[in-house]
Amino acid sequence: MRRNASLVLLACAVFCAALSPLLRWYAFPRLARIPAGQYQDMVLEARGATLLDYGTMRARKVSKVTIVQTLKGDVAAAKRIERTAGRPVVVWDSLSYVQGPDGKMVSKVPERYIFDAHSQDPVHATGEMVDGDPVKREGIEFKWPFLTQKRDYEYFDAQTRTTSPIHYEGTRTFRGVPVFYFEQTIPWTRVPMPKTMPVQGITPETVARTGTTRWYSTVRKFWVEPVTGAPVYGEELHKEELRGGTLLGGRAKVTAFAGHVKMREDYIDHTVALVKQNRTLVLALTSYAPRGFLGLGLLLLALSLCLEGRARHPRDPAPPRTQESEPVSA
């Protein structure tokens, strides 16, 4: 009986020990994926910013500039690209919509970002673009990989349409969440004019004919939760200028936009809560469950060996008891 029980425990121990690496190395890459149909939005603000008045072509101080960023997954496009890519793919259609303090549009730049659902590596396919211009991204954008490492990453900048390193600057704590801090500096670079301009009749083509060019620089900062790879907070020291040409009336340059862009407080709270929830799910696949099954397997193995040892070495049987003869009375 003990030997049968030890064999059952041994089988359970082998099963748990085998399940531990399967969860980490087989289930995790297949279950930890960005949903193809995900939708999210984010509101950022730059208070006390400088903004160009296109009516007078003069820069002026404004109370705030608001940037609304939306990401919407295209499920049909993702399935179509998966058939040729041979791996799970996410297609995000994003829009960065900038508006002044009066609520009027300053600019809007659409993007289509195609990437691997698990690794976040870019996937090159027809339709990949920024503001209607075809691009071939290298590096990450919007999100870091699951289980982010303490190293520099290549990060795609949509304004310049180029990729450059974003540097790991250390471990910090943000709203009770351990995070990795990353920073990227984009030096002054000539960039295209937005396809959609805030003034009727002004287009990138009409601006180009005046000889005026657009230049851009930024310092990009991200606080990234390393288990999920999701930024819980972000900032930019953003600057744009128009330079040269007849549009500026003889001036060498004029500030088109300058401000310290930060996430709005209510969106910070929502993002931190969502990341904490997803962090627990990822840790369950990568740490909690694999370690738990491995520990359970070792415990069952110890019990199995203990029962097997007792079955092989039974206790010596006790000597039979002898009955004492009773005295016989006369």
Question: pLDDT tens, 258-295?
Answer: 999 999 999 999 999 999 999 999 999 999 888 888 88
Cα 133 to Cα 128: distance, rounded to the nearest angstrom: 8
Of the CA atoms within 13 Å of residue 52, those in its CB half-sphere come to: 21
What's the average model confidence in pLDDT over 127-139? 95
Cα 185 to Cα 165: distance, rounded to the nearest angstrom: 9
Provide the token pair at 164.
């450059």
Instruction: Please tell me the pTM assigned to this model.
Output: 0.87
Q: Distances in Å between the alpha carbon of 97 and those of 74, 103, 104, 109?
A: 19, 11, 10, 7
Q: What is the pLDDT of residue 191?
A: 96
Cα 220 to Cα 282: distance, rounded to the nearest angstrom: 27
Strand partners, 258: 50, 239
Cα 274 to Cα 225: distance, rounded to the nearest angstrom: 11
How many other C-beta atoms lie within 10 A of the C-beta of residue 152? Answer: 14
Q: What is the pLDDT of residue 319?
A: 57
Residue type, 209: R
Provide the token pair at 78.
């993702």
Round the CA-based radius of gyration of the chain to a whole number and report it.
Answer: 32
Q: What is the pLDDT of residue 19?
A: 87
Closest by CA to 57, choosing from 316, 277, 245, 318, is 245
Q: What is the pLDDT of residue 6?
A: 72
pLDDT, tens only, 36-47? 999 999 999 999
Q: What is the pLDDT of residue 3?
A: 59
Provide the token pair at 249.
């009336």
**φ/ψ (deg, to 5) at 95:** -140, 125
Of the CA atoms within 13 Å of residue 62, those in its CB half-sphere come to: 26
Confidence of residue 330 (pLDDT cuts 50, 70, 90): very low
User: What does the mean pLDDT of the chain come to?
Assistant: 89
Position 218 pLDDT exceeds 50: yes
Strand, coil or helix: 200: coil
What's the average model confidence in pLDDT over 89-113? 94
Q: What angle do CA 135, 141, 144 make, to 5 degrees?
A: 150
Q: What is the pLDDT of residue 180?
A: 98
Coarse DSSP helix, strand, coil percentages of the chain, rounded to the nearest 5 percent: 30, 40, 30
Confidence of residue 2 (pLDDT cuts 50, 70, 90): low
Confidence of residue 178 (pLDDT cuts 50, 70, 90): very high
Position 76 pLDDT exceeds 70: yes
Confidence of residue 12 (pLDDT cuts 50, 70, 90): confident
Q: What is the pLDDT of residue 147?
A: 96
Provide the token pair at 102.
């009066």
Position 32 pLDDT exceeds 60: yes
